[in-house]
Amino acid sequence: MEDSLHIATLTAEPGPIDVDWATTALLIIDMQRDFMEPGGFGETLGNDVSQLARAVAPIAAVLKAARETGMMVVHTREGHLPDLSDAPKAKVERGAPSLRIGDPGPMGRILIRGEAGHDIIPALYPVEGEIVIDKPGKGAFYATTLGADLKMRGIDTLLVCGVTTEVCVNTTVREGNDRGYRCIVLADGCASYFPEFHEMGLKMIKAQGGIFGWVSNSAAVLEAVSKQDVLETSSI
- The span of 80-88, 139-147, 162-170, 200-208 binding ligand C5J (CB under 6 A) equals 162-170
Residue of 35, 141, 181, 212 that binds ligand C5J (CB under 6 A):
35
Contact by Cβ (8 Å): 107, 138: no
Residue of 37, 78, 119, 188 that binds ligand C5J (CB under 6 A):
78
* Minimal distance, residue 177 CB to ligand C5J, in Å: 17
Residue of 163, 173, 183, 205 that binds ligand C5J (CB under 6 A):
163
User: In b/e form, how buried is each residue of 28-42, taking b as 16+ CB within 10 angstroms?
Assistant: bbbbbbbbbbebbbb
Q: What is the DSSP letter of 169?
A: I
CA torsion 105→51→175→78, rounded to 10°? 20
Q: Residue 30 interacts with ligand C5J (CB under 6 A)?
A: yes
Phi, psi of 102 (to 5 degrees): 95, -20
**Is 183 one of the catalytic residues?**
no
**Is 229 one of the catalytic residues?**
no
Q: Residue 228 interacts with ligand C5J (CB under 6 A)?
A: no
Q: Please identify which of the residues 119, 134, 138, 168 carries the catalytic annotation.
A: 168
Q: Please identify which of the residues 34, 119, 134, 135 carries the catalytic annotation.
A: 135
Q: Judged by CB, which is closer to ligand C5J: 24, or 76?
A: 76
Please compute, for residue 23, the number of CA atoms within 13 A of its CA located in the half-sphere on the CB side: 16
Q: Residue 134 interacts with ligand C5J (CB under 6 A)?
A: no
Contact by Cβ (8 Å): 77, 118: yes
Size of the chain, expressed as the number of residues it contains: 236
- Which chain residues interact with ligand C5J by CB under 6 A? 30, 35, 78, 138, 163-164, 167-168
Active-site residues, by number, are 30, 135, 168
